[in-house]
Structures are given as C-alpha cells and as structure tokens.
A and B are shown apart, each in its own frame.
Chain A
C-alpha cells in the first residue's frame, strides 16, 4: 500500500522519534510513505488565531502539492497538522467561493482531491487492526498503558470526523490488539495546554500535570500519545509538575508508533527510543 505523507515541522526537529517510529512501523506493515515534496508549515494555532484565510492557505499549499504529485490520501502523524490540513480540506471542498479565494492567494490550482488522515485513522481504518495483530512479534503483555488522545485527533468533531470526540476508543482497541492492558482513565481527551506553554507555562504545567497524575493514579506504566506538542508538554515538564505539586510525576510518555514498533519487534535503535526525558527503561524492562 502507498500513501502520501506530511511530516510537519515537529517531526523534523523535536519529534524525530515520532518520525523514525512512524517510518519504521509503516515499512514493517508494507506501507510506502511518499513525502509531499517541499511541504511548508501548516500554520498551526498561530495562523488559526491570526487570520482565517492564512490558516486555510498555508495547509492548502501542501494539499495542492500532494495533488500535483498524484496523491489521493495523506498521512499527517502530528495531531495538530492533521487538524489544520483537514480544516483546509473540508472548507475548500465544502465551498466553491472559499476554494477560489484559497487558490487566489496560493497562485496554484487545487481540485479538492486529497484526503488527510491522522495516524489512528490510518492504522485502524486503512491498515486494519487484524493485519497489525497478525504481525505482532512481541506482545506488550502486562504493560498497563493510558491511551491519551488529547484534543486534535477527535475534536472539533465536525473537522476531525473521526471516532468519538470525548470518549474515543480506536487507540484503546489498537493497544489491546498489541497485547497491552489498557487502563480506564478520565483524562484521555483532556487538553495538555498546547502552545500556551510559550506564554503561560504555569497553566500548561497544571493542565499537563493533571493528565500525568491521572495516569499515575490509574496505575498506568506509560502514557501513549500521537501528538508532538502533547509529548513535549507531558514528557519535558514532569520535573516542573513535581515541583509544583510536591508529588513525584515520573510517568514515561511514548508515541503510539513506538509502542506499536516494539510490539512488531522493531529494534529500539530504529524506533529512536532513547529520545525521552522521562526514562522509558521501566517500560522496556517489563516487556523484554
């Protein structure tokens, strides 16, 4: 199977292990990823908060380039990139006038032929849980995982159009198929505070802390995420959470694709497992 691929800025810098594990997992599952040539930043929250047309045009350039390269579907592993590309996809497809305005500022044509997918949608609906579970070599037996979806994979519902907005289950099912014990917890779709970390780190440490402590209290060995921004808030800020609450945080946070890769028997080096601030050693020991 072939698919278009939009890594986004984070996967080329602070989330290199999300990129390496996604690539390794796709290779293992016989998916050839073709990167959109010369892609640009999706604009993320700053574009969305600044100008609606800009927030459509920046991702739309990528869709137009994908279309030119003959891609019908594009995988965007970053939850925020997925959300912004999907917004452009839907708004251009739903309104001729919007499409024309976007084409006008792009100076390119775009025929609404590209469908954007998030990593869960891609794994569960395109590849399929059956195919994945048949390839599991080292089940994640005895590993208790808190599946964390955050906001952007499932909300706003009319943009994401995927799973349930507040109680999604696709990641739960995927992790169960890998042999893991999926914990029931209350923070699976809570917001981590996202980019406000640059302006109000205190608030983000509180919001992300609630997620980490909820995972800890529910007995999870690790949190699984599919978003580089969530990873950075949840993994990098645990010292600050500990300092703010007086209660030790220390919960390893892994990309969903890293856990999937481990279950598929892919080497830790290939997955980029060392790139975490909170040590993943307890997780690896438990399944080795």
Chain B
C-alpha cells in the first residue's frame, strides 16, 4: 500500500468539502459495516473506506469494487452514532473516480448501469425485457443467468406478470428531450456521461 503523505490529505479535504460529511469525526465503531447489506462482498468495508480517506489511499479506493456497490439504502447512516451519511461519501468517491478516469475492479455493476441507461436514453423509459436480455448477454455468465431464469421466466408469463405487450419497447413522445439530457451531460463530462 502506498500512503500519499505528500498530498497533505487532499483526498480527505476534497471528500469532506463535496459531501458535506465530516469524515474525520468517524470513531471507527463499525456499525456502518455491520449494517451494510453488501459489506460481505465489498473489497473494503464502509468503516475501512472512511479510514482510507483519512490516510489518502486514493488509488486503492477509487478503483475499488466497494464504491460501485452502494445503492444508497441508507442503513449505515441510520445507525451511525456520529450522525453522518455514508452514502454521500460513496457518491463523492464514485464521482471522483469518474472524473479522474479510474477503472473500477468491479465491472458488472457499471456495465449493467450502462445497459439500463442506454434503454432509458433510447426510449425514455426502462424496458425490463431488453434490460434483462442485454444484461445477460453481456455479463459473461450466460449459463448461470439462463439457469436462474428457467424457474422464473415461464411462471412470469403464465401468471401474467409479463405479457406479450411487454416484449417490445415503446418510445415516449418526449424521447428527444430525454436524449438531450443525456447528450448535454455527456458534453459537460467530456463525452463520458453514461
């Protein structure tokens, strides 16, 4: 591990300023990690992430899987005795990682997000069948995914949860407005919005 002392805790200052959360006030009680539904599959648990920010371990942190896994369920924040919202910190870390061009060690979640947002950009709404099929084809776990779909897919059609009308995507009238939202943000970010 490389500790960037020469950066004078610039990561800490940056994260605190952007998130509005006082990272240094964390007492390392680990309640956030105990509550987080995904800490078991994260490479760094939430309380470790806070410590890494203090130590300025930027490269490890911004390329970590953990920061891509937070879905803002808010369990950590609801339990934090210091009263801060960890999800705000996670949002800032993902933002920094993108701005500085870090490649995450977590590839599946960003890929799924891209497919999801691609559907929204194209039609204005998320199309569940397209999302499921495209995601399955792109994640490289086709056998696992098809196997897990076999007990679910047919009952969904039999029970009428899905119908033939759900197979094809429809565009909303204002699709061009939605496309414009994506295009403008993409331009602001230098071509890498989603």
Q: Contacts of A104 on B, CB cut-off 8 Å?
A: 184
Q: Contacts of B10 on A, CB cut-off 8 Å?
A: none
Which single residue of chain B is at the shortest CB-CB distance from A83? B72
CB distance from B22 to the nearest CB of A (A): 15
**CB distance B79 to A166 under 8 Å?**
yes
B52: interface (CB < 8 Å): no
**CB distance B109 to A199 under 8 Å?**
yes
Interface residues of B in 109-155 (CB under 8 A from A): 109-110, 112-114, 116-117, 120, 124-129, 131-132, 135, 139, 144-145, 148, 151-152, 155
Looking at A14, A45, A199, A277, which has the most chain B CB atoms within 10 Å of its CB? A199
CB distance from A15 to the nearest CB of B (A): 8
**CB distance B79 to A38 under 8 Å?**
no
**CB distance A41 to B78 under 8 Å?**
no
**CB distance B185 to A41 under 8 Å?**
no
Which single residue of chain A is at the shortest CB-CB distance from B144? A201
Interface size class of A (residues with CB under 8 A): 35 or more
B181: interface (CB < 8 Å): yes
CB distance from B39 to the nearest CB of A (A): 11
Interface size on B, residues (CB 8 A): 66
Q: Contacts of B178 on A, CB cut-off 8 Å?
A: 40, 58, 61
**CB distance B156 to A13 under 8 Å?**
no
Interface residues of B in 148-183 (CB under 8 A from A): 148, 151-152, 155-156, 159-162, 166, 172-174, 177-178, 180-182
**CB distance A38 to B172 under 8 Å?**
yes
Looking at B91, B98, B159, which has the most chain A CB atoms within 10 Å of its CB? B159
**CB distance B117 to A50 under 8 Å?**
yes
Interface residues of A in 29-81 (CB under 8 A from B): 38-41, 43-54, 57-58, 61
**CB distance A46 to B156 under 8 Å?**
no
**CB distance B180 to A107 under 8 Å?**
yes
A190: interface (CB < 8 Å): yes
**CB distance A157 to B148 under 8 Å?**
no
Q: Contacts of B72 on A, CB cut-off 8 Å?
A: 45, 48, 83, 156
**CB distance A155 to B156 under 8 Å?**
no
Name the prevailing secondary structure of the A interface residues. helix
Q: Contacts of A207 on B, CB cut-off 8 Å?
A: 37
A284: interface (CB < 8 Å): no
**CB distance A41 to B125 under 8 Å?**
yes
Supposing A104-B184, A151-B75 touch, asked if A196 and B69 sit within 8 A by C-beta, the answer is yes
Which single residue of chain A is at the shortest CB-CB distance from B172? A38
CB distance from B181 to the nearest CB of A (A): 5
Which single residue of chain B is at the shortest CB-CB distance from A64? B177
Cα-based distance from A245 to B56 in the complex (angstroms)? 42
A135: interface (CB < 8 Å): no
Contact with B along A266-284 (1 / 0, CB 8 A): 0000000011110000000
**CB distance B185 to A13 under 8 Å?**
no
**CB distance B120 to A105 under 8 Å?**
no
Supposing A53-B185, A107-B177, A196-B38 touch, asked if A10 and B128 sit within 8 A by C-beta, the answer is yes
A-B contact pairs, 23 of them (CB 8 A): A13-B162, A13-B166, A16-B160, A43-B117, A45-B113, A46-B114, A47-B120, A52-B91, A54-B182, A54-B193, A58-B120, A58-B178, A151-B75, A155-B78, A156-B85, A189-B75, A198-B139, A199-B108, A199-B135, A201-B145, A203-B38, A240-B151, A276-B161
Residues on B close to A: CB < 8 A?
37-38, 40-41, 68-75, 77-79, 85, 87, 91, 94-95, 98, 108-110, 112-114, 116-117, 120, 124-129, 131-132, 135, 139, 144-145, 148, 151-152, 155-156, 159-162, 166, 172-174, 177-178, 180-182, 184-185, 188-189, 193-194
| 10 further A-B pairs in the complex, CB-CB below 8 A; given A165-B78, A196-B71, A207-B37 | A9-B126, A46-B114, A49-B68, A51-B185, A54-B194, A165-B77, A198-B131, A198-B132, A236-B156, A275-B159
Residues on A close to B: CB < 8 A?
9-10, 12-14, 16-17, 38-41, 43-54, 57-58, 61, 83, 104-108, 151-152, 155-160, 165-166, 189-191, 193-196, 198-201, 203, 207, 236-237, 239-240, 274-277
